[in-house]
Structure 1
Amino acid sequence: MSTVDLPDPVVVARAAEVDTAALEAALADAVDGEVRFDAGSLAAYSTDASNFRQVPIGVVVPRTPEAAAAAVAVAHAHGAPVLSRGGGTSLAGQCTNTAVVIDWSKYCNRLLSVDTDERTCVVEPGIVLDDLNRELAPTGLRFGPEPATHMNCTLGGMIGNNSCGATAQRTGKVVDNIAELEVLCHDGTRFWCGPTDDDAYAAIERRGDPKAAIYRQLRALRDTYADRIRAGFPDIPRRVSGYNLDSLLPEHGFDVAGLLVGSESTLVTVLRAKLKLVPVVRERTLVVLGYPSVDKAADAVPAILPHEPIALEGLDAKLIRDEQLKHLNPDALSELPAGHAFLMVQFGGETTDEADRRAHDMLDAIHDTEHAANVEVLDDPAHETQLWQVREAGLGATAHVPHRPDTFEGWEDSAVAPEKLGDYLRRLRELYAEFGYASDTGPSLYGHFGQGCVHTRIPFDLYTAQGVATYRRFLERAADLVAELGGSLSGEHGDGQTRGELLPRMFGPDLMRAFGQLKTIFDPHNRMNPGKVVAPAPLDSHLRLGGDWAPATPQDVYFRYPDDGGSFADAANRCVGVGRCRQHSTDGGEVMCPSYQVTGEEEHSTRGRARLLFEMLNGHGDSPITDGWRSTEVRDALDLCLACKGCKTDCPAGVDMATYKAEFLAHHYKGRQWRRPRAHLALGWLPVLARSVGRARLTRVVNALAKVPALRRLATRAAGLADREIPAFANETLQQWFGRRRPRGDGSRGTVLLWPDTFTNRFHPRVGRAAVELVEDAGWRVIMPSEPVCCGLTWISTGQLATAKRVLTRTVGTLAPHLRTGGLVLGLEPSCTAVFRSDAAELFPEDRDVRRLREQTVTLAELLTEHSPGYQPPRLPTGTRAITQVHCHQHAVLGWDADQELLRRAGVDAERLDSGCCGLAGNFGFEPDHHEVSVACAERVLLPRVRAADPGTVVLADGFSCRTQVHELDSGGREAMHLAELLTRHPHDEE
């Protein structure tokens, strides 16, 4: 075989110089799918979870693999590069490029067939791993490799990166679990491939077609480099770096599919995949071992491996510290034994006894040896799940830690042989110290220790030229260290741009030449994800930040962003791309991101919106978004944000899109209120409208008119609202009722101020009346403001922040005398209560009364549990069951633990629904063009569960929006009630 030089990097630049208008028109004509060259889409796909940023040429969302093939054909005709993208969570820059990006995840996500006898299935590349395994569950089989991003990573992305995860201890890497691939070259050559014996090779050779030509060249490449492949490829469990040339060796069956796994879209586009499946492990036992240091934990790994754990993970105390600072997984952290580093060793079996026996055999073997440890054995699945969440939260937990420098990828998945892991960690920490990255608050170390793979995020200074230069020198030295130890630069996340330039340090010139020749066989014109793996762009180019990053830094912001140094730019930069917002299920009680869950659109995920806000600041001067706060692209992306605040808690980086949306809207319409949607005015000023209706004694008239369909449609159209039922005003407000009643209760526990929020006061005063009765019976004296008051929520959610700040200032002034005596404020409506606990402090972080308001505001359940020692709620009839729709703001800001405890004390069998957002979300569901998304959110879980519930089951929903959604949509005539109503509805004294 003749020597072929590496692809010319200049080709990359030429490939990007295409006629984009002609390309877009041709794609739109040829592709069954969505073709997007708009600025918003380009911004949303400009980066992945890495340090890199490249603005795409355009984005194609195909409906079928055939549509994707048509897109590649058009790109080939126009000389345009192509990049296949799955979940977009790659950490080495392989999912960002100046190319036509094919996003498989929205439509091409089907499980096509399953063969249980053969233990295989065929999938499209956009299917999410968790979704696949849920569909496979009835068969007792699953796909083995499971990265920490299993809830949102796609199989196509896993194939591209040769993903692994904790389960690889048992099942290996993706390359070990692929039976066949259907692939497409940039020039249109398309074929299925897999292991190829001599007879199969001869049959392909006889065809004389383009596939035969490729196979002929691959065999010649193998024969030329076979000995050097055997000598130069590290014999370790986690060699992910480089192309899988070893798959072509005779001892590996000339496996062309295996060769293409891990090629990061630089060789072919994967259209379909036939996967090998493994049986589900029936029972598991988790052993947690505590050690004095992370290197000592690593030293123990070789003594544990002979006992065949199905997973063997390591983590140090710094990761635990970071999770504690971010309030992640608090229950699980209490399960850890004493130590400054931990090994999580999981054993499996057909029975619990079998798994337990294997665990105890391992413990017996290391007892009285240098590897003895503090031990915690868990065989409770709930506790095990919680502890695995500690490990899986590593990426998010180590990003944006409060009061710590920002950390970044770059050296997050190196791997060595397990027997060298302890030595590697000691020398890596020395390297941290040499480069100034080590300190008491320095990088945590964790990862798949059973296979020698180490994860870490390092406080690189990627904001200055000097910091970037130091980053480069560190990566070069770290690469040399791994190569010296016979390891792999990447043990899981791939090479991309981060490690592509460093590969010669690991493989040497001969194998790098082989990589270049392989690239030329499949992609002679360098149009498949150019600049990655071979002929790579420098590791310090195309940085998302970098020494030349100079974003606009708005100074006139309304929120003060206390956790981001007062900078909106830093807040917009919080997203690290891990993609938790792209999950398709809310299993585990998470909320975000409801609009993504029902649309499948990157632009309507928290991550996508964060990318648009980042681009809006135009820190590189080439952003597709050029009009700052006036951007219609950002406005449109934020339009379907329900402001549920789910991301504030569920996003491991703490992105708070509801706040960013309010900030953006305030500036977008500043000085041009006339451009605001009428719905913003009608719903934002709802408290004033409701007060006016009450003052004019028009409640009954307005309610009667709202029930006339023609008049309702006329009124909603005039107000710019969707044609939905108008909630009825109460004939008597809560404040009016409270003002005419005589206080009850002895006040032995003190005085609490019940906050008369607009929704409770004007629409559902029955909730407030029940709460007053309950709280007084608990021994509290209840007081309530008599004048009109408001928290400002509706102005905040519609981005009318100047008004919101004025309203809040008046409110805090009203409450100040009570707060300064240490008095508690009781909130009944979660969204309004969350304003006091969160938004107000972010608008006025230095105001001491606002701080008091944040600390002294409580929910009903918190008041009756945490602040009322010894209190026993009314005991409800035996067998009382409830399904609970937890309000998004309660989930994100207030918490539900106290509610769960209070319900338990009351004898209620309460199930928290994994339903996420109800879909109404305050003003969102009442705005035009939102109705479809609003209903789709409710129909995911909430409404089906309400309809299916036993007639005696209570539907519990503290949020006015949630109760309204259940009332108005098709819920089988069921109504939801507030916790206060439930506890005063059927009091039943135990005999």
Structure 2
Amino acid sequence: MSSRVPGESLDRLVTALRAGTDAEVRFDTGSRGAYSTDGSNYRQVPLGVVVPRTVEAGAHAVELCARFDVPVLSRGGGTSLAGQTTNEAVVIDWSKHCNALVSVDPEARTCVVEPGIVLDELNRRLADHKLKFGPKPSTHSHCALGGMIGNNSCGASAQAYGKTVDNVRRLEVMTYDGLRMWVGPTSKAERARIAAEGGRRAELYDGLDRLVAEYLGDIRRGFPKMPRRVSGYNLDSLLPENGFDVARALVGSEGTLVTVLRAELELVPVPSYESLLVLGYDDICQAADHVPQILEHCSPGQLEALDGRMAQLMREEHAYLESLRVLPEADSWLLVQFTGDSQEEVDAQAHALLKSIGRSEKDSSVAFSDDPQREQRMLKAREAGLGVTARPPDDRETWEGWEDSAVPPERLGDYLRDLKGLFEEFGYDHPSLYGHFGQGCVHTRIPFGLKTADGVADFRRFLERAADLVASYGGSLSGEHGDGQARGELLTRMFGERLVGAFGELKALFDPGNRMNPGKVVDPQPVDGQLRLGAAWRPDTHDTHFGYPQDDHSFTQAVLRCVGIGNCRSLEGDVMCPSYRATREEEHSTRGRSRLLFEMLDGHADSAVKDGWRSTEVRDALDLCLACKGCKSDCPTGVDMATYKAEFLAHHYEGRPRPPAHYSMGWLPLWARLAEHAPTLANSALHAPLLGRAGKALAGVAGERRPPVFAERSFVRWWRALGTEQPDPADPATVVLWPDTFSNHFHPSVAMSAVRVLEDAGFRVAVPETPVCCGLTWISTGQLAVAKKVLRRTLRTLAPYLEAGTPVIGMEPSCTAVFRSDAPELLPDDQDVQRLAGQTRTFAEQLVHHAPAGWQPPFLARQATVQTHCHQHAIMKFDADRELMRRAHLDADVLDEGCCGLAGNFGFERGHHDVSMAVGELGVLPAVRGAAPDSLVLADGFSCRTQIEQGGTGRRALHLAEALAMALDGPVPSDRPERLARRPAEPSGTARWATTAAAGTLAAAAAFGAVRQLRRP
């Protein structure tokens, strides 16, 4: 039955949904584009998106879709790799609102959940009970339980706890025709009672009875006896010996049979102790050969593998290097985890295994750890596989399609050799092989040619050959990710025509009209159909401002970096993606924006975005991007949405008026230089009740924001007044202190303090005395032509220092990041830009790595709560700062709470205030409120300091340079932390710079907030 829906039916459905459900109903182009694909090779633009606020609203939405004969697709995290969460249907996204932990029974070790709850969030809520849900896919930070049930997810911990199907007790489900029921194991007596009641439920159970009776022998013979059989419907769960378990029969059905409304799950105790043994091998096939021997001697909690190719990619991408450093000498590795009730028990298990296989902990090919943090570093290398292998540095694109086949573990080594032979036959060079080897599941990404007809034809032929290969080993097409469209057409090669016919009968029983996620598993679309790329893909070409050197100088290639992994949907840790964390909206995740940019490329006839750079849908999706650059470091494939946003804005507003904020905050360096001539007058005007409100309205600034305060005297003016002779650029002790707009005009005490500390360390400080700027505010607002002019002017001023190789020290992380990252991409052919990128250092980098031998930072001996600026996290990293604080005896609690939410101009722009504050309240602001009263609060970023001050924390943050400068004058008092906020208006001399720093920073903190608004975090 076709999934096509007449326009009039769809219009009536939309009206009914909006009138009759408590749901967000979105049939706009932007929403449809954001949901057009998942983590797979496939793409189908949905009819619309429904985001129910309650489970009941979601159920009613399904009823209305049935009334108008419209297909339905349930979706959670949307990370599926087989195409099962993309369809021409109404997508019901359960993840935003329907994410409750309904109940917990600690004694029975069960809980009831709604389908949208994320696995990590569920386990956090269960932590007090010392329980957890056992299966743990690598997407645990953002995968929804409904999706895990739909896909029968597994992960590394399935070695100990089994697949999702093994951990589901009951399901509340709804059929397309409106039947709602709880299902689970069903005795003969219970089935007789159901039959006596009659109705649709009796019809279903009678049909299931008949199906099992007819195919009993086929099911028993045709389902592989192996731990990782995920392909096909779970007809084996309906066997008498398995309790006729209807719930488990529906697990893994990928939304093609029923809608899951709630689930009762079985829980397991959180292990008290763990240890990890890593065994090295010459190659991955040899490692696989050794798996059966290991399993003979122990029952590990995890038995994972990664190969030398993945390690090579990590080194080339400079990713997970800390993980690699703790691995033993080898080219491939098995990671064997043990769990138990005592440290002695888990250690003994590891040593017993070593003894049984004839190895020693002292061997160079062995690493043992019972340190949880070290274990996590080791396991992170394996968990990172998909992201690391998706975009290799050698410019080859790799794709899923055969990413999770599984065979019996005892046959794994031979299967891998044959699979590598198939790679060689098709010319697919060097795919990495890794995975859950203890259960025979193999992950890989292959360089399929999905942009040409020949490449697509080879893709299809390879899948057919690979399916026959895995079937010959008694294996499963899917050992983890399900069938969807990627493997649905191949199921007959594994199960045979008769069992696949039984799958069709099961589908017809539950969904006779084929309206539940049609074209997946049963009567599937072809494996080479509806490709996200494909031979017919013809994207527009674009002249761009940025050079995209890592993407073959192509904006299109840059957009293709997003492969749908979905880490941007995580809810805590790192930075990415603050707007998603605040809104829980797919469209406001890095992935959702990437999807819309992909649609904007107009490569398909049915592209959701038709007006290119002028698209309002793309503009609206990018509007809540904080340009924090968190995705550049936290996205496994290095998506840089801040750059894409700047590029888009440059084209979108080319030749037409811009929003007022682009003129007010985008041109902030100019307004700050003008205000320098009369700072008191400027501050009075900005803070006058009537004039200030009118000015904010005219400037496009949020009325809730307090304007920043211009300093009475800028840093550069103060520097000139000192009359210090500029040092020789060729002097090895010379450093250039960069007078960024924020440290110059709003918080001059930051730069003054830096001068003091740098000179104490033996450096001779030079300061450009003519106006210079990095162009940050123009970049963040997409005024890239102006930004290039500003950068070129700056390069001319810095020319003597660049020629001499003089270090340039940045105090404001966002400006420093421009020199290290944005400027080389904007002016990729300018050698001075390349020199500047190489010579730019952070304050901490200069002092930690380049200070004269014997210099020690001043002794602070204080506690500090430290917020890392997003751009520093993404570009410069924070290692040097941690080391500098350690040397200064600063007991630093470096927050892992994400973005502060102000993010330069973002939090100051009209319409962004609520999201800005919501982001801050997700972590940074509560953490600062909870900091000890006598601790320092440090934040090198002006936006961070401003948000902390304006976020109701009652605290004011200092730059690390200010804290160190104050310590030069003696111990920093801890009894009255507010003393740190006092800043004298004028420095009285070099000996009093520390006090000056304290004074200027606080006055500048308010001012810097407004400035920071135009700056991205």
TM range (shorter): over 0.9
Give the aligned residue type for 1:568: F
Pairwise CA distance, 1:373: 8.1
Scaled by the length of structure 1, what TM-score is found?
A: 0.96
Q: Secondary structure at the match of 2:911?
A: coil
| Aligned-partner Cα distance in 2 for 1:155–1:478 | 30
| Aligned-partner Cα distance in 2 for 1:264–1:305 | 32
Q: Secondary structure at the match of 1:231?
A: helix
Identify the residue that residue 8 of structure 1 maps to in structure 2.
none
Q: Secondary structure at the match of 2:893?
A: strand
Give the aligned residue type for 2:322: D
CA deviation digits over 1:104-148, x for unaligned, max 9?
Answer: 000000000000111100000000000000000000110000000
1:190 partnered with 2:180: yes
Identify the residue that residue 581 of structure 2 maps to in structure 1.
597
Out of 508, 513, 537, the residue aligned to residue 501 of structure 2 is 513
Identify the residue that residue 683 of structure 1 maps to in structure 2.
665
The 8 Å contact of residues 727 and 734 in structure 2, kept in 1 or not, is answered as no
Out of 721, 724, 727, the residue aligned to residue 708 of structure 2 is 727
Identify the residue that residue 301 of structure 2 maps to in structure 1.
310
Mapping of 1:644-655 within 5 angstroms?
A: 644-655=628-639
The 8 Å contact of residues 101 and 122 in structure 2, kept in 1 or not, is answered as yes
Are residues 163 and 983 of structure 1, via their aligned partners in 2, closer, same or farther at CA, if it must alter by over 3 Å?
Answer: same
| Aligned-partner Cα distance in 1 for 2:154–2:865 | 38
Out of 368, 381, 384, the residue aligned to residue 393 of structure 1 is 384
Identify the residue that residue 770 of structure 1 maps to in structure 2.
753
| Aligned-partner Cα distance in 2 for 1:538–1:262 | 20
Pairwise CA distance, 1:387: 1.4
Pairwise CA distance, 1:909: 0.5
Gap regions ≥5 residues in structure 2: 972-1017
Pairwise CA distance, 1:19: 2.4
The 8 Å contact of residues 902 and 944 in structure 2, kept in 1 or not, is answered as yes
Pairwise CA distance, 1:984: 1.1
Q: Secondary structure at the match of 1:534?
A: coil
1:461 partnered with 2:443: no
1:755 partnered with 2:738: yes
The 8 Å contact of residues 18 and 80 in structure 1, kept in 2 or not, is answered as no
Q: Secondary structure at the match of 1:684?
A: coil
Pairwise CA distance, 1:707: 2.9
Q: Secondary structure at the match of 1:364?
A: helix
Give the aligned residue type for 1:534: V
| Aligned-partner Cα distance in 2 for 1:574–1:22 | 38
Identify the residue that residue 565 of structure 1 maps to in structure 2.
552
| Aligned-partner Cα distance in 2 for 1:941–1:872 | 36
| Percent of pairs with identical residues | 59
The 8 Å contact of residues 84 and 484 in structure 2, kept in 1 or not, is answered as yes
- Please, which moves more after superposition, 40-49 or 807-816? 807-816
Identify the residue that residue 891 of structure 2 maps to in structure 1.
909
The 8 Å contact of residues 331 and 386 in structure 1, kept in 2 or not, is answered as yes
Pairwise CA distance, 1:875: 3.4
Out of 939, 963, 980, the residue aligned to residue 921 of structure 2 is 939
Pairwise CA distance, 1:344: 0.5
Are residues 515 and 226 of structure 1, via their aligned partners in 2, closer, same or farther at CA, if it must alter by over 3 Å?
Answer: same
CA deviation digits over 1:927-958, x for unaligned, max 9?
Answer: 00100011111111111111121111111000
Q: CA RMSD in A?
A: 1.4
Mapping of 1:42-191 within 5 angstroms?
A: 42-191=32-181
1:526 partnered with 2:518: no
Give the aligned residue type for 1:892: A
Identify the residue that residue 575 of structure 1 maps to in structure 2.
562
The 8 Å contact of residues 859 and 889 in structure 2, kept in 1 or not, is answered as yes
Q: Secondary structure at the match of 1:527?
A: coil
Are residues 988 and 693 of structure 1, via their aligned partners in 2, closer, same or farther at CA, if it must alter by over 3 Å?
Answer: closer
Identify the residue that residue 464 of structure 2 maps to in structure 1.
476
| Aligned-partner Cα distance in 1 for 2:733–2:214 | 86
Out of 534, 554, 575, the residue aligned to residue 542 of structure 2 is 554
Identify the residue that residue 414 of structure 2 maps to in structure 1.
423
1:326 partnered with 2:314: no
Out of 690, 698, 702, the residue aligned to residue 678 of structure 2 is 698
Pairwise CA distance, 1:422: 0.4
| Aligned-partner Cα distance in 1 for 2:376–2:695 | 51
1:237 partnered with 2:227: yes
Pairwise CA distance, 1:705: 2.9
| Aligned-partner Cα distance in 1 for 2:789–2:726 | 35
Pairwise CA distance, 1:738: 1.1
Out of 907, 910, 913, the residue aligned to residue 925 of structure 1 is 907
| Aligned-partner Cα distance in 1 for 2:615–2:899 | 27
1:27 partnered with 2:7: no
Pairwise CA distance, 1:702: 1.4
Give the aligned residue type for 1:735: V
Pairwise CA distance, 1:324: 1.7
Out of 214, 217, 223, the residue aligned to residue 207 of structure 2 is 217
Identify the residue that residue 740 of structure 1 maps to in structure 2.
721
Out of 351, 374, 379, the residue aligned to residue 365 of structure 2 is 374
Pairwise CA distance, 1:331: 1.1
Are residues 727 and 988 of structure 1, via their aligned partners in 2, closer, same or farther at CA, if it must alter by over 3 Å?
Answer: closer
Pairwise CA distance, 1:323: 1.5
Pairwise CA distance, 1:97: 0.2
Identify the residue that residue 6 of structure 1 maps to in structure 2.
none
CA deviation digits over 1:548-583, x for unaligned, max 9?
Answer: 10011112x100111111111111111010100001
- Please, which moves more after superposition, 825-834 or 326-335? 326-335
The 8 Å contact of residues 604 and 640 in structure 1, kept in 2 or not, is answered as yes
Q: Secondary structure at the match of 1:787?
A: coil
The 8 Å contact of residues 489 and 499 in structure 1, kept in 2 or not, is answered as yes
Q: Secondary structure at the match of 1:415?
A: coil
Q: Secondary structure at the match of 1:950?
A: coil
Mapping of 1:232-381 within 5 angstroms?
A: 232-306=222-296, 307-367=298-358, 374-381=365-372
1:802 partnered with 2:785: yes
| Aligned-partner Cα distance in 2 for 1:853–1:806 | 16
Q: Secondary structure at the match of 2:33?
A: helix
Are residues 404 and 86 of structure 1, via their aligned partners in 2, closer, same or farther at CA, if it must alter by over 3 Å?
Answer: same
Scaled by the length of structure 2, what TM-score is found?
A: 0.94
Give the aligned residue type for 2:470: V
Q: Secondary structure at the match of 2:739?
A: coil
Identify the residue that residue 634 of structure 1 maps to in structure 2.
618
1:492 partnered with 2:506: no
Give the aligned residue type for 1:403: D
CA deviation digits over 1:765-820, x for unaligned, max 9?
Answer: 10000000100111111101110000000000001111011111111121122111
Pairwise CA distance, 1:710: 2.5
Q: Secondary structure at the match of 1:273?
A: strand
Give the aligned residue type for 1:41: S
| Aligned-partner Cα distance in 2 for 1:549–1:646 | 30
| Aligned-partner Cα distance in 1 for 2:941–2:4 | 56
Identify the residue that residue 445 of structure 1 maps to in structure 2.
433
Pairwise CA distance, 1:746: 10
Pairwise CA distance, 1:739: 1.3
Q: Secondary structure at the match of 1:159?
A: helix
Q: Secondary structure at the match of 2:182?
A: strand
Gap regions ≥5 residues in structure 1: 1-10
Identify the residue that residue 3 of structure 1 maps to in structure 2.
none
Identify the residue that residue 849 of structure 2 maps to in structure 1.
866
Q: Secondary structure at the match of 2:390?
A: coil
Identify the residue that residue 785 of structure 1 maps to in structure 2.
768
Q: Secondary structure at the match of 1:97?
A: coil
Give the aligned residue type for 2:890: V
CA deviation digits over 1:41-77, x for unaligned, max 9?
Answer: 0000000000000000110000111111111111111
| Aligned-partner Cα distance in 2 for 1:927–1:210 | 55
CA deviation digits over 1:458-483, x for unaligned, max 9?
Answer: 00000101000000000000000000
The 8 Å contact of residues 73 and 186 in structure 1, kept in 2 or not, is answered as yes
1:892 partnered with 2:880: no
Give the aligned residue type for 2:600: M
| Aligned-partner Cα distance in 1 for 2:213–2:380 | 46
1:40 partnered with 2:30: yes
Pairwise CA distance, 1:985: 1.4
Are residues 715 and 378 of structure 1, via their aligned partners in 2, closer, same or farther at CA, if it must alter by over 3 Å?
Answer: same
